[in-house]
Structure 1
Amino acid sequence: MVNSRALLFTTLCSLLILSTFIDSTQSASCCLWYTRRRLHCHRLLGYTIQTINMSCDIKAVIFHNGNNFVCADPASSYTQKLMKCVDDKKKMIQHMMKEEIPKTSASS
């Protein structure tokens, strides 16, 4: 059980670090249209919000899906649900990390 907890902790830490890195980067280009395909929350690592500026003509939510970026309509209720799901996943990971740190340092 200890090994599985350590593996889970390591995996969660890796996902948090990866999602933090992805959140801090921006895609080289901006969204020009929205996707029509349905996205799955469990595959999303994070998102950024695109505003209208000189080079980007539309507002968009850019979901980070591994090496891909998927543009979604920020006014869509489905997009809002996905954003909440990603935020909830990050909160859960952070909560689990806070709980795991005292346990691992106490066992050392």
Structure 2
Amino acid sequence: MKNFRICAFCFILLLNFLMESNAHNCCVSYTKRPRRCAILKGYDIQGITGKCDLPAIIFHPKTGKPICANPSHEWTQKAVQCLKMMAKPDRLSLLH
């Protein structure tokens, strides 16, 4: 019975740790350097929810770590528009 309690306690501790580690997926600051659209492959929008208290655009570069950007900066908005345009299917190819 003692082993069961120890295992249950360790399991609860592990679950708590895993739930807390989700906070690391939040942007806590913005990059200071604008990035070119050519190095990016996608993005996510981080709202103010739960443990993420900073609105951000999280760019996913083709290589490297995610980049947290201020959604109100002009370069961020241009990069989002560029990625949206790259994601649209080619309209001419649909006609053929």
Smaller-chain TM-score bracket: 0.5 to 0.7
What is the DSSP-based 3-state SS (H/G/I as helix, E as strand, rest coil) of the residue aligned with 2:31? coil
Q: Which residue of 2 aligns with 1:99?
A: 93
Q: Spell out the pairing of 1:1-108 with structure 2 (5 A cutoff).
A: 29-66=25-62, 67-91=64-88, 94-95=89-90, 99=93
Q: Give the Å deviation of 1:47.
A: 0.5
Task: Quote the sequence identity (%).
Answer: 36
In the TM superposition, structure 1's runs of 4+ consecutive aligned residues that sit over 4 Å from their partners are none
Structure 1: tracts of 5 or more residues without a match = 1-27, 104-108
Q: Give the Å deviation of 1:68.
A: 2.0
What is the CA deviation profile of residues 76-104 of structure 1, one whole-angstrom value per residue up to 9, with x for unaligned ones?
Answer: 1111011001111111xx217x828x97x
Q: Give the Å deviation of 1:53.
A: 1.1
- Structure number with the bigger relative contact order (C-alpha 8 A, sep ≥ 6) is 1
Provide the TM-score with structure 1 as the length reference. 0.59
Distance (Å, rounded) in 1 between the aligned partners of 2:55 and 2:34: 19
What is the CA RMSD across the aligned residues, in angstroms?
2.1
Provide the TM-score with structure 2 as the length reference. 0.66
Residues 45, 57 of structure 2: 8 Å contact kept: yes
Structure 2: tracts of 5 or more residues without a match = 1-23
